[in-house]
Structure 1
Amino acid sequence: MKNIFLSLFLLVIISCKTEKPKPISLEDDVAFLASDSLAGRETGTSEELIAAEYIQKRMQGLGLLPKGNEETYYQTFTFKPKADPHSEVQFVAGDSTITGTNVIGYIDNNAKKTVIIGAHYDHLGMGGAGSLYADGEAIHNGADDNASGVSVMLQMAQRLKDSISGSNYIFIAFSGEEMGLLGSNYFSKNPTIDLKEANYMINMDMVGRLREDKTLSISGTGTAPIWNQVLNANNPGFKLVLSESGMGPSDHTSFYLQDIPVLHFFTGQHEDYHKPSDDSEKLNYEGMQIIGDYILNIISELDDSKKLAFRTTKNESEEVPRFKVALGVMPDYLFDGKGMRIDGVTEDRPAALAGLKKGDVVIQLGDSAVVDMMSYMRALSTFEEGNSTKVIVDREGEQIEVGVKF
């Protein structure tokens, strides 16, 4: 009897030891990165370093090689922040500085070309200048912005390991994006690979809120002649909104400026953008999986191709008018109908006080017809504080006119 019990005990021990660990899911990665314990992952904080350590361990567990500084996964950079995050930031050493940390892993297939895959992992901490939350300090978890992109990147790394081998792959979790693309800017000027071998760069920033109509925005399609063909040929059913410009408010811009073809994947802004309510339970994980599959199919198709030709594109940001006032709405940047659809309304701002609602489509602002986002911005740029005007919206097929005061 003793021998039987001993045999059963040993069998249980052996079974426990040989049982494979459960794979880490998209939900698992987002749940950790967007948890309250990380206090919003603000650049240079101890909580951002905890997030960096988590990503480093995930990369190590996936078998990625360290590709940071001094044979580590980390590339640090020190800077003095500016009041305007879009102004030139100097990378310096000394007092009153902040240190950011890029986390970098690598798959070495001994290939002659390398694909760069990136997503920023920093966010706004307790709020600050970039927050759209009006009720004081609160943890900004940034589940969509951008735990979603980091999680998809890690899942792609797992699937690319020992599979599509015609390229090398470098995976970069960028720090300092919210302060002005600092981590990607620093890497692009202090690369840990030979950028001459870089074939193209994939950037995933806010890919966690795929809508029911499967609208997916992809920017940078003009940076290589082949992009439109490849994107459409591999489209599994997305309603694609394509933009040619390689310039934009995310990390792909840093690589475009180094003459590298880029693509930026984005599922659109929403009412929780840069607010404490951007939480993990609101993400569309099935949509994230489909986006990851789509990008992998694009990578696979290009695996045997020659190095992509780079093309410069028009800088659309230079055409954006300057504003002296704000209507207080969140535009739906993925709307492809006539007008500017409102995706969110801020309390106690002109739009809310005038009775405008989410889903309204602005078709006239003042004397100007609004047919798209650019015409809306041009119209808005003509007003100053204290001005009053009319706004006409299409609300479920009915045209409604309201008065607004800026």
Structure 2
Amino acid sequence: MLAQRAALFKSSGTAAARIAAKAAAASGRDIIDLTAGEIWSELAPSVRVGAIAAINRNLNRYTDTVGLLKLRQALAGKVSAETAQPWSADEIAVTSGAKQALFNAAMALLSPGDEVLIPAPYWTTFPAQAVIAGGTPVFIETRNSNYVPRLVDLAAAVTSKTKAIVVNTPNNPTGAIYDRGTLAGIAQLAIDRDLWIIFDECYGAFAHDPHTHHSIVSVAPGVRDRTLIVNSFSKSLALTGWRIGYLAGPAPVISAVKALQSHTTSNPNVIAQHALLHFLERGDPAFQLQLRRQVAKARSLGLSILSALTLVPRPAAQGGFYFYLDLTELQRCANRNGRDINADDVVNALLMEAGVATVSGTTFGDPAGIRLSYGIDLELLDQGLRRLTVALNAWN
């Protein structure tokens, strides 16, 4: 007999999409996979050197539960530079990826019944972890405001039970970047209503001109003591498999996180910690520039191909490395022809008819959207998006 909480959440929808793509490919079909939330790239040289050096030094023992002191000091320096506010090592917890940082934040902040405001479409882990912690997700619709929440809608959703607001910019899945005015407004709402802000900026390294990513703490310094910053190196250094991230926040929260982490994963992988410390101490600007150029080139190619869509508007793709397609007009056209379709139907059709794997917006709380990753090889991206465009246009 399973615990009751096991019925409260499902496996990740993005993981399920990857599994479906691999199953189709394993059956012998030619599948181009646009589901993965990662960039195809070699390791950053400085990360490789740091990892090998740590192995050669036989570094195989526990570290502090929330990470090496030197690493936390280096991360505090990074966050200080990005927020224009001083941070110290006791305000940093190194975690096994951003997911653990978010889990720690939910478990440390939320009591049963607490409400968390989550703009939709949303990364599926946000509401799942709120539920695990006993909280209640409250979704704020953004589809009619270019996927950025309106301050009036956020304010209207606040109740006596509201404990926190999730801010994810650049956004997964939509790629929307919150402007300074929106961030300042959210910060003021949090101050006025005594709320926490969980600020996920994992895609912050990829803001595409003319858009700029801003830390909410740099925009509104007064919100610093009620903000938890979540970040990782999975995207910015293409290290998804290394599972290394961090949480920055007030020292009492980090202290609680340390106690929690001591009973869950304990310290993150020691080799990954030393590799990241080497990167932070030495830098790797050539690699980071190359990675940003790679993503920018893929975005430009993809937008050019997707501009040929007839019933689906070209995505804005302001940040990150996803194209998020709005299927609303495609659905209206299908309805006029006697068909009732949602994003799941479109995703299944693309997989079966075009050999292109995508992620349904229903995973993100949106039955009228699909997410496409452009972090893959350029040639495959070109082929996949052309197949997808032909298939969707044939629905006209």
TM category (shorter chain) comes to under 0.3
Task: Specify which structure has the higher proportion of helix.
Answer: 2
> Whose Rg is larger?
1
TM-score (norm 1): 0.22
Structure number with the bigger relative contact order (C-alpha 8 A, sep ≥ 6) is: 2
Task: Specify which structure has the higher proportion of strand.
Answer: 1
